[in-house]
Structure 1
């Protein structure tokens, strides 16, 4: 039979090993949220998959075939985004958005995923007066 201190040490080692395995598995699936300025300032950003968030610049949204092209801005920095596919119905100029993809060598962010940010306030629309 194993003594109590040895049993506790074994449990601690097993828990630590399990924690390291979980952390290692999650590391490959996480993409971090960055601002346009952070992505443009980091030369290594072109080699990794990232999320970039900001406000969709008013007047910048246009369609080019099956692409949606727009600019994201945050803290005075802007990045040009090309996203393939149909954006969500709630996608609008002047609203927040987060795109996921990678920065191409030409400085254009190639997104394959677009999520619209929204405030944390939600309320149902008011019904029209029956009067």
Structure 2
């Protein structure tokens, strides 16, 4: 075997070992790669009690119940299934019914998701109060920050077809 053949054999063997190692790692992490599971996915997978995972969906309107010592129960839904969640702690400021949420924890034997972490999801228009205050102080604040694109500006009037605008032009 020449030097060139030996070198190619070593490189080929190393690439094969790396591919096998990557395959084993991905196989071991296949359930953890997903950022969160929805209630429907949890129902379909028949997740065993005690197995930690992230649950994501919308807080079902009317399901939020506050108890003693910061205990909270609510349901997370994804349009197909609902899963009851129990959490003890301070909820994020953006947490509310109808809002997206990701909770981390495990199912108990009765099928209730016992969360030890709750994260409220927000859309792209969200801006923390501290950032907004800083922008205002620096003079960089625009009144349309935090509004969806195409939203009316303050004081603007929605015009229907055929109505006259303030300038008198017909739309």
TM-score range, shorter chain: 0.7 to 0.9
Tell me the residue number matched to 2:151: none
Q: Note the 1:1-131 alignment, pairs <5 A.
A: 3-16=6-19, 19=22, 23=26, 27=29, 30=32, 32=34, 33-64=36-67, 65-122=69-126, 126=143
The structural deviation recorded for 1:61 is: 1.6
Q: What TM-score, normalized to structure 2?
A: 0.59
RMSD: 3.1
CA deviation profile, 1:47-95 (whole Å, cap 9, x unmatched): 4222111111222222222312111111142111101211111111110
Change (3 A) 1:55 1:29: closer
SS in 2 for 1:52: strand
Q: Distance in 1 between matches of 2:41 and 2:89?
A: 26
Structure 2: which 5+ residue stretches go unaligned?
Answer: 133-141, 145-153, 155-171
Contact in 1 for aligned 2:94/2:122 (Cα 8 Å): no
Aligned residues: 127
CA deviation profile, 1:20-63 (whole Å, cap 9, x unmatched): 57547x72992642221232344334242221111112222222
Change (3 A) 1:42 1:12: closer
Greater RCO structure (CA 8 Å; 6+ sep): 1
Q: What TM-score, normalized to structure 1?
A: 0.74
